[in-house]
Amino acid sequence: MSTAEWEHFYASHAPPAELPEHRQQITDFCKHHQPNKIVLLTSGGTTVPLEHNTVRFVDNFSAGTRGAASAEYFLDNGYAVIFMYRQKSLEPFSRHFGGQKFLDMLEIQEKGSDVAINVKSNYINTIKPILSKYKSAHRENKILYVSFTTVSDYLWLLRVACECLTSSGANCLLYLAAAVSDFYVPSNEMPTHKMQSGEGAPVIQLQLVPKMLTPLVNNWVPRAYVVSFKLETDENLLISKSRHALNKYKHKLVIANVLQTRRHQVTFVTPETSFVINLNTEEMDSGIEIEESIVKNVISCHKEHIKQLDSH
């Protein structure tokens, strides 16, 4: 990909209004945690607006489960976490209490005019460890939340975050689990207002989003350990496409997964090897999450990367 392609994308998409504030927050966070290990973790899907005043957009399946769970395991392992997530997708800690689950854990006790809302006793042991980890991560300023919605917000934020992380060198880990759109409608081809059905069915021409892994690996954070994810629905393509990505972008690790089995199986693909991480039914039934093993293995690859760069 030529530099012109990705520069053109940035030139034709205005940065999100909150970008300067995010830059400041990320800069402060990185300074605070230097020289410790820090992970930039991306999570959730991106939208592709079809109108400038957006009523309709193209989206994808990702709920951000992988990213939100992985963030907790990175914190458990001492990393500072920049959690870059799709607004309204799952977040670390609160993900355990989504929807009606939280309300089911509470009970109302009324004595005359005194009303108390308590956690039901059988849920205390579930909530307590999660709540204490949440409190300590926030007290110690170990996690920073920055959000995006559209694919262009995502790409702007990714670039700015990388610029802030350059000075962390090899201590920086990029864990790119977000499901980023490969297609978009160029700004100058988008109607300003809501498309009208009275005008007939629209014909929408999508264009390719440039793969930002190219400038990211080569220019933005050349010393960082970069992990990308590869999602396929056809298992037969998984390894060949992951190897293709490693050859093309020159990073060190692709974690490959298939849509239907992603909760219990992933394949680590490096330039030299590949190995599978699998959860069996018993492990899944007991609440073990595959992200715990993914993060453990990624951390040991990151350690190896730091050792290699330090010895040069």
Minimum distance of ligand PMT from residue 44's CB (angstroms)? 6
Nearer to ligand PMT, 195 or 270 (CB): 270
Stretch that binds ligand PMT, among 15-23, 60-68, 105-113, 131-139 (CB under 6 A): 60-68
Report if residue 65 touches ligand PMT, rule: CB under 6 A: yes
**β 253-258/172-176 pair status:** unpaired
Binding mask 224-253 for ligand PMT (x = CB under 6 A): ----xxxx----------------------
How many residues would you count in the chain? 312
- List binders of ligand PMT among 176-195 (CB under 6 A): 176-180, 182
Contacts of 222 (CB under 8 A, 6+ apart): none
Size of the site for ligand PMT (CB under 6 A): 21
Q: Which is nearer to ligand PMT, 166 or 195 (by Cβ)?
A: 166
CA distance 294 to 60: 23
Q: With respect to ligand PMT, which residue has the nearer C-beta, 26 or 48? A: 48
> What is the amino acid identity at position 152?
S
Check: CB of residue 71 under 8 Å from CB of residue 81: yes
For residue 48, the 8-state DSSP code is E
In one-letter notation, the amino acid at residue 176 is: L
**Residue 184 CB neighbours (<10 A):** 23
The residues that touch ligand PMT, with contacts defined as CB under 6 A, are: 62-66, 176-180, 182, 209, 211-213, 228-231, 257, 262
